[in-house]
Every structure is written in structure tokens, then in C-alpha cells.
Amino acid sequence: MKKLIKYLYKNQAELVVLPVVAFQLVFFPYPALAAQDQSEFISLPPVDLAKAAQESEEGKIELILPIKEYQVVKTYQLTVTAYSSTTDQTDSTPCITANGFDLCEHDTENVIAANFLPFGTKVRLPEKFGDRIFTVEDRMNARYYYRADVWFKTRDAAKQFGAPYTILEVVE
């Protein structure tokens, strides 16, 4: 507290000048900015909302965002299993992945566990999920080095997935 009082005492002039400058910038913009030629600014074309939006069932307008194109970097053929957030399939913190990602808070089935890929790697399983992208956020038991494990919200969904031998594509 003493240090703060000393700092305020030493820098009285700065404490008075800062609010004055802020006030001037807000209420009296810099004259050079006001005098600038407007032709220097970029004008964006108007957006046609009829083309860029679609009406949902509730009557809301949702913008259609472009889908990011991914390029396949490497392809693996391996066993892909499934798991859910239960203590018998994970550790004592079933919602937290090996890199600290909270599955239960995120609540989207786009997480995959793999020991042979770095955290954050984007992958897809085209034979099972088409173009859906998964992110490596978790690890498996060390004995399963060359295998992947897809996270599902429920144990029943994980059981239905089974343990197929399938293709895994690393994308970027």
C-alpha cells in the first residue's frame, strides 16, 4: 500500500493528464483524422442477406459460413475404439483430458485420443464420420501406442461404435 501511495504521489502529473487526453480523444477526435480524404478507405461490397442467410424453423436468420477445406497430410490404417467420460474408462477426472481440455464443458463429440500424434492434430475418419474433423486432445494407455480412441458423450454410443479397423487421415 505504501508503494502505491508513493507511486501516486510521484506521478501526480501523469494521473491528471491521462483522463484529460482520454476525454479529448473521445469528444474531440484528432483533427488530422477528420480531414483525411475518404477515398483512402476501403469500401466493402454490400452483402445480399437472401444469399448469405437461411431462415431456420424459429424464424431466426443464420449466416452460412464457408466450410474450411482441409488437405490430407498423412493416412494411417489402424484400430479405432471409443470411450466416454466414466471413471472406469478414464482416471479419477473423467471430464478432463490429458492436455487439460474439459470434455463435459465443451460437450461436442469432436475429441480423439491418440498416443502417436501431438496434441492439437486435426484428423478425420472418412469411413465412419465422413468429413467430420476431430482434434487430438487426449492420450490412451501406453500399451495402445498405434491406436486411436474417439470420445462420445454417452457410454451406449461408445459401445455402439465398436472397435473397427479403419482409415485415419491427418489433415491441416
3-state secondary structure of 156: helix
pLDDT value of position 8: 61
Tell me: do 10 and 91 sit in the same domain.
no
Residues in the chain: 172
- Determine, yes or no, domain membership for 7: yes
Tell me: do 17 and 85 sit in the same domain.
no
- Determine, yes or no, domain membership for 44: no
- Determine, yes or no, domain membership for 43: no
Q: How confident is the model at residue 4 (pLDDT cuts 50, 70, 90)?
A: low
Q: Where in the chain does DSSP place strands (E)?
A: 53-55, 61-63, 72-83, 111-114, 122-124, 133-138, 147-151, 165-171
Condensed to tens digits (0 to 9), the pLDDT of residues 49-95 reads 555 455 445 555 555 555 668 899 999 999 999 988 877 766 678 78
- The Cβ of residue 124 has, within 10 Å, a number of other Cβ atoms equal to 20
Tell me: do 77 and 153 sit in the same domain.
yes
β-strands 61-63, 147-151 pairing = unpaired
pTM for this prediction: 0.59
pLDDT value of position 139: 92
Q: Which domain, by its residues, includes 119?
A: 72-171
Between CA 169 and CA 172, with CA 171 as vertex, the angle to 5 degrees is 170
3-state secondary structure of 149: strand
Tell me: do 138 and 91 sit in the same domain.
yes
pLDDT value of position 50: 52
In whole angstroms, give the CA distance from residue 51 to residue 64: 9
Tell me: do 78 and 162 sit in the same domain.
yes
- Determine, yes or no, domain membership for 55: no
Tell me: do 83 and 15 sit in the same domain.
no
Compute the average pLDDT of residues 111-135: 94
- Determine, yes or no, domain membership for 12: yes
Tell me: do 100 and 154 sit in the same domain.
yes
In whole angstroms, give the CA distance from residue 131 to residue 72: 11
Mean pLDDT of the chain: 76
- What is the tally of structural domains in the chain? 2
Q: Which amino acid is at 154?
A: T
